[in-house]
Structure 1
Amino acid sequence: MEHTSTAERILRSIAIGAVVLFFIFPIFWILLMSFQTNETILRNPPSIAFVPTISNYVALLTGRLETAAGTLDISFMQNLKNSVILSVSSVAVALLLGVPAAYAFARHRFRGSEDIAFTLLSFRFAPPLLIVLPLALYFQDVGLADTYIGLIWVYQLICLPLILWIVRGYFEDIPADVEYAYRIAGHSWFATFRKIALPLAGPGIAAAGLLAFIFAWNNFVFALVLGSADKQPVTVGALAFVTASGIQFGQIAAAIVLSIAPTLALAIYAQRYLVEGLSLGAVKG
């Protein structure tokens, strides 16, 4: 029995290692590509033995890309700045609006509340291409085209339904008796929400905010159609590396590394809240 148990542990470790390697290897390969020239990347067969170079990162930081056709000006750092502005602002607005709304849906049942909540959730179901053209025409009329405010407003179609429905579930898992006892002591509804509900649902709110940030950061279609070059995020700015002289794989790899760094750092910093938030309410009884 002991030998069987040891064999099972070894097989389980091998299986886990294979799964981790399967998911980590593409990221590792992209990291290696970011320190290679196009000639090294395109050689056949590929090899992990090469002379590293930081020219790809220098091109991104300086905004000047050397190609066979000449020097090309790129605005990757501006795109990165735009991604930070759009994602952080969108999640902040979504949290400001979505968390109180989620609490209201969880605690105050009223006629049509489920229909309203489902309608808000249905915004996540609609393909972006289905609504981006009407939005583009509408934004042209009201003067929101090619503005941060307009893009942040559109990003609410991504962030707000996600935060609303995730946080609502966390509020529903909090025993209502705790809040009732606090209310009986003479405190207002807002004080109960701020001092009781919000701290108890804090990990869930952090998890929902992090997921919304990742979805907003990775958005492509809305920014491509509704924003010009000086307002577009890194997901759209990467198109600049597809030039007439070819695809700049090294710069694309370096751009990927720099663009995932903020979300990766945020996920690592908030992993405790993410794990706790996603597991909150998983076991009831």
Structure 2
Amino acid sequence: MEHTSILERLLRAAALTVIVVFFMFPIVWILLMSVQTNATILSDPPTLAFTPTLSNYTALITGQLDTQAGSLNIEFMQNLGNSAILSVCSVVVALLLGVPAAYAFARHRFRGSEDIAFTLLSFRFAPPLLVVLPLSLYFQDIGLADTYIGLIWVYQLICLPLILWIVRGYFEDISPDIEHAYRISGHSWLATFRKIALPLAGPGIAAAGLLAFIFAWNNFVFALVLASADKQPVTVGALAFVTASGIQYGQIAAAIVLAIAPTLALAIYAQRYLVEGLSLGAVKG
């Protein structure tokens, strides 16, 4: 039995190592590419013996990209700021609208509620190209084309359905008896929602907000069609590295590292909220 237990531990450790290497290899490879020149990256055969350089990150920060055809101005840091503005504002608006709506769908059953909720969810399933052309025409008519407000509004097609359905499930896991007891003591439904429901569903709301932020940050099509260069996020701004003189692989790798750093940091920080959210069902009964 002892030999079997040791063998099981070894097999589990080996399997875990293979899984970690499989998922971490692309990230490690991108990190290595970000500190290499194009000549080193394109060397045949590939080599791990190279002199690291920060020139790729310097080019992104300063906005000056040196190519074989000459110097090229890029606005990557502005694109990074645009991504932060669009993603943060979109998630905040979606939380302000989606959390009360999720609570209403979870606590107040009315005729057609499921149909309305599913209709909102269906917006998440629709391909962006299905709505981006009519939206671009409407935005030009009402003056929202190439504006932050217009993009934040469109991003609700990404964030709002996601937050609505995830947070609704967390509210449904909270026993309504707790809220009823608070209401009996003389408090209004608004006070009950603010002081009881929101704190209990806090981990779920945080997890939904994190997922919505990641989806908004990674969006490409909406910003490509509805925004000009000064409003475009990093997902669209990365196209600047495909130049007439070739593809700047080192700068692309450095841009990927800088682009994924915020979402990766948020994901690591919010792990505890995801774990806490799993225990919400314990309050039932």
Fold agreement, TM-score > 0.5: yes
Aligned equivalents of 1:275 and 1:242: distance in 2? 41
Kindly report structure 1 stretches of 4+ aligned residues shifted beyond 2 Å: 274-285
Aligned equivalents of 1:76 and 1:281: distance in 2? 44
**Which residue of structure 2 lines up, in the alignment, with residue 51 of structure 1?**
51
1:132 correspondence with 2:127: no
Q: Which digits, 9 at most, give the CA deviation of each residue in 1:198-231, with x for residues without a partner? A: 0000000000000000000000000000000000
Task: Tell me which moved more, 261-270 or 118-127.
Answer: 261-270
Unaligned runs of 5+ in 1: none
**Which residue of structure 1 lines up, in the alignment, with residue 117 of structure 2?**
117
1:282 Cα offset (Å): 9.2
Q: Secondary structure at the match of 1:72?
A: strand
Query: Which residue type is aligned with residue 209 of structure 1?
Result: G
Unaligned runs of 5+ in 2: none
Task: Tell me which moved more, 19-28 or 265-274.
Answer: 265-274
Change (3 A) 1:40 1:243: same
Query: Which residue type is aligned with residue 18 of structure 1?
Result: V
Aligned equivalents of 1:249 and 1:279: distance in 2? 44
1:84 correspondence with 2:78: no
**Which residue of structure 2 lines up, in the alignment, with residue 245 of structure 1?**
245
Aligned equivalents of 2:203 and 2:33: distance in 1? 37
The within-5 A match list for 1:218-229 is 218-229=218-229
TM value normalised by structure 2: 0.98
The within-5 A match list for 1:1-285 is 1-277=1-277, 280-281=280-281
1:48 Cα offset (Å): 1.5
Given that residues 175 and 283 in structure 2 are in contact (C-alpha distance below 8 angstroms), is that contact kept between their aligned partners in structure 1?
Answer: no
Q: Secondary structure at the match of 1:66?
A: strand
Given that residues 238 and 252 in structure 1 are in contact (C-alpha distance below 8 angstroms), is that contact kept between their aligned partners in structure 2?
Answer: yes
Given that residues 147 and 227 in structure 1 are in contact (C-alpha distance below 8 angstroms), is that contact kept between their aligned partners in structure 2?
Answer: yes
1:268 Cα offset (Å): 1.4
Aligned equivalents of 1:91 and 1:156: distance in 2? 8
Given that residues 200 and 280 in structure 2 are in contact (C-alpha distance below 8 angstroms), is that contact kept between their aligned partners in structure 1?
Answer: no
Query: Which residue type is aligned with residue 205 of structure 2?
Result: I
Aligned equivalents of 1:74 and 1:149: distance in 2? 24
Aligned equivalents of 2:180 and 2:100: distance in 1? 18
Given that residues 206 and 277 in structure 1 are in contact (C-alpha distance below 8 angstroms), is that contact kept between their aligned partners in structure 2?
Answer: no
Task: Tell me which moved more, 272-281 or 212-221.
Answer: 272-281
Query: Which residue type is aligned with residue 198 of structure 1?
Result: L
1:34 Cα offset (Å): 0.2
Given that residues 64 and 73 in structure 2 are in contact (C-alpha distance below 8 angstroms), is that contact kept between their aligned partners in structure 1?
Answer: yes
1:267 Cα offset (Å): 1.2
1:279 Cα offset (Å): 5.9
Query: Which residue type is aligned with residue 13 of structure 1?
Result: A
1:130 Cα offset (Å): 1.0
Given that residues 207 and 278 in structure 1 are in contact (C-alpha distance below 8 angstroms), is that contact kept between their aligned partners in structure 2?
Answer: no
RMSD value over aligned CA atoms? Answer: 1.3
Aligned equivalents of 2:274 and 2:218: distance in 1? 19
1:47 Cα offset (Å): 1.5
Change (3 A) 1:185 1:115: same
Aligned equivalents of 1:155 and 1:280: distance in 2? 29
